[in-house]
Amino acid sequence: MPRTSHLATAGTSRRTDDRTRALRDHLSARLPELLAEHGVPGASLAVAIGDETITAAAGVLNLRTGVPVTSDAVFQIGSVTKVLTATLAMRLVDEGRLDLDATVRSILPEFALADAAAAERITVRQLLSHSSGFEGDVFTDTGENDDCLERYVAELATTPQLFAPGTFFSYNNAGICVLGRIIEVLEGMPFDRALRGRLLDPLGLDRAAGDASEAILQAAAVGHVREDPDAPLAPTRTWAMARSNSPAGSRLAMRAEDLIAFARLHLAGGRTPGGEELLGAGAIREMQHPQILLPEIAQGTAWGLGWEMWQREGGWVIGHDGSTIGQAALLRLVPSRGIAVAVLANGGDAKPVFAEIADRVLEEFAGIAPAEPPRPGAGAVPLPAHPERFTGRYASSTAITEVRLDFDGRLWLERVPVGIVAELGDLPYRSELVGWRGDVLLPVEPEGGVHQPVAFLAPDERGRAGIMHTGRADVRVDA
């Protein structure tokens, strides 16, 4: 019996080796093709399959210099940083120094919003699950000094409340920055120093760069943007956003392989490769437990503590996406199968590249069926009854969106960026909206290579939508 068992295991190992070798060959050949197809200057990827890590890279770090991408190159990971911030917060929970259901005010008495009653009620758990309800796209630059997060939180005092805490999901950068300030207060040091000392260093991520001064010492990717829709991609003139948004993902850069090393912490129940327990298995499970459901907008089923969660045919997937100024990142994990995928890119339509790579790995090695991306024209779906319910003006701190019904019954969306995102090169967007699933509509024109569904929620007494939701809740501002 032992002999038979050994032979079966060896046979399985050989089959796995053959499959991973085939995957490595496929990714090395396919990645350059994908970049060319979708206008992406450069990309790096890493895949964890059990104990093995596969890497591949293609393209250039900077279209101006032509320096090639290698697997040692660092890219900004954008909002994937939020999962690292959440992991750091959960270390404090594990140590009994932070209570998930404590109010923010109990730790930061100075925390204030335009809605004083809401500010008193918001909890740490709601920050982690993006359900606190206040305007989340606040990118105020409060300088480069160590007090930048403290000053940033003070700037939130006039930030509006979009909905009652715990009512909806709405992606919230500012909430994660508040969480970063909580970490600072409990650790007694600036956030970026706490992140390095309490998470990056224990994981051996000495190549991770917290800002441009660290990234410049390595092969660093530069983001690429367009000055207008018809202009060619060009290197951005601003490498990173403000330090005050670091907990939410404004600066952290690393190799795809480094991101996989972080993912392995969550695949291994909170233990490092050397066996050190950085995070208890209970905390890992809590992070991966759904906290709040998302609208049906093709961005996930639910949100955990830091993790976005997808219930797919074949099982649950967790992960996060990220974007900064002309750079983008994807991280996907299937904890039940020990699989993780990280892909980093520096411009162009990166999302279709990410989708093809992640879908291939998750289907072949974790049995997770690919999700069909929303596409208009895949079957005629009429607009729901009384589409005038959706018309009007919706606003956030980063955009003003008009939805209008024209004379022949067609519905149109037009978005104009405002504030810091407009200054950083976000472009206006216009598209017809067509039927998809109930009061969730689909734009005809892609943006960034995808058709992002638009949900209309929270009807008022007249039946008019009070919220337009695309991952963030934009509130109606017309009378």
186 within domain boundaries = yes
Token digits of residue 451: 């058709």
Token digits of residue 108: 């930061």
Provide the 3-class DSSP secondary structure of residue 449: coil
CA separation, residue 159 to residues 141, 178, 180, 418, 473 (Å): 15, 13, 18, 16, 14
380 within domain boundaries = no
The pLDDT of residue 46: 98
The pLDDT of residue 14: 60
Q: Are 332 and 338 in contact (CB under 8 A)?
A: no
367: left (phi over 0), alpha (psi -120 to 50) or beta: left
- The amino acid at residue 220 is A
CA–CA distance, 99 with 81 (Å, rounded to integer) = 21
Please tell me whether residues 134 and 270 are part of one structural domain: yes
Domain end, chosen from 371, 399, 426, is at 371
CA–CA distance, 316 with 306 (Å, rounded to integer) = 15
Please tell me whether residues 395 and 365 are part of one structural domain: no
Please tell me whether residues 264 and 409 are part of one structural domain: no
Please tell me whether residues 415 and 342 are part of one structural domain: no
Q: Which of 424, 426, 431 is nearest to 410 (CA)?
A: 431
The pLDDT of residue 420: 81
Find the distance separating the first CA and the last CA of the chain, reported in whole Å: 77
Please tell me whether residues 138 and 165 are part of one structural domain: yes
Please tell me whether residues 464 and 366 are part of one structural domain: no
The pLDDT of residue 30: 98
378 within domain boundaries = no
* 157: DSSP letter: G
Please tell me whether residues 50 and 132 are part of one structural domain: yes
> Rg of the Cα trace of the chain?
22
The pLDDT of residue 11: 47
Please tell me whether residues 317 and 442 are part of one structural domain: no
Please tell me whether residues 153 and 221 are part of one structural domain: yes
Please tell me whether residues 133 and 223 are part of one structural domain: yes
Q: Which of 128, 141, 119, 44 is nearest to 93 (CA)?
A: 128
Q: In the chain, helix, strand, coil percent, each to 5?
A: 35, 25, 40
Domain count, the chain: 2
Q: Are 260 and 47 in contact (CB under 8 A)?
A: yes
Residue with tokens 């920055």: 177
Domain end, chosen from 312, 347, 371, is at 371
Runs of H (alpha helix) within 268-370: 281-287, 350-366
C-alpha dihedral over 159, 97, 336, 320, to 10 degrees? 20
6 within domain boundaries = no
- The amino acid at residue 110 is E
CATH code of residue 464:
2.40.128.50
Catalytic residues: 79
Please tell me whether residues 414 and 278 are part of one structural domain: no
CATH code of residue 85:
3.40.710.10
As to burial, measured by CB atoms within 10 angstroms (0-12 exposed, 13-18 middle, 19+ buried), residue 103 is middle
CA–CA distance, 436 with 422 (Å, rounded to integer) = 29
Q: Which domain holds residue 399?
A: 387-476
Q: Are 69 and 61 in contact (CB under 8 A)?
A: yes
**Do the bridges between strand 429-437 and strand 411-417 make them parallel or antiparallel, or are there none, so unpaired?**
antiparallel
Q: Which of 248, 261, 256, 245 is nearest to 79 (CA)?
A: 248
Q: Are 246 and 208 in contact (CB under 8 A)?
A: no
Residue with tokens 């066996």: 275
CA separation, residue 109 to residues 116, 120, 167 (Å): 12, 9, 23
Domain end, chosen from 324, 346, 371, is at 371
What does each of the 479 residues of the chain score in pLDDT, given as a tens digit? 223 223 333 444 566 688 999 999 999 999 999 999 999 999 999 999 999 999 999 999 999 999 999 999 999 999 999 999 999 999 999 999 999 999 999 999 999 999 999 999 999 999 999 999 999 999 999 999 999 999 999 999 999 999 999 999 999 999 999 999 999 999 999 999 999 999 999 999 999 999 999 999 999 999 999 988 788 999 999 999 999 999 999 999 999 999 999 999 999 999 998 889 999 999 999 999 999 999 999 999 999 999 999 999 999 999 999 999 999 999 999 999 999 999 999 999 999 999 999 999 999 999 999 988 898 876 668 999 999 999 999 999 899 999 999 999 999 999 999 988 888 778 899 999 999 999 999 999 998 788 999 999 999 999 999 999 999 999 999 97
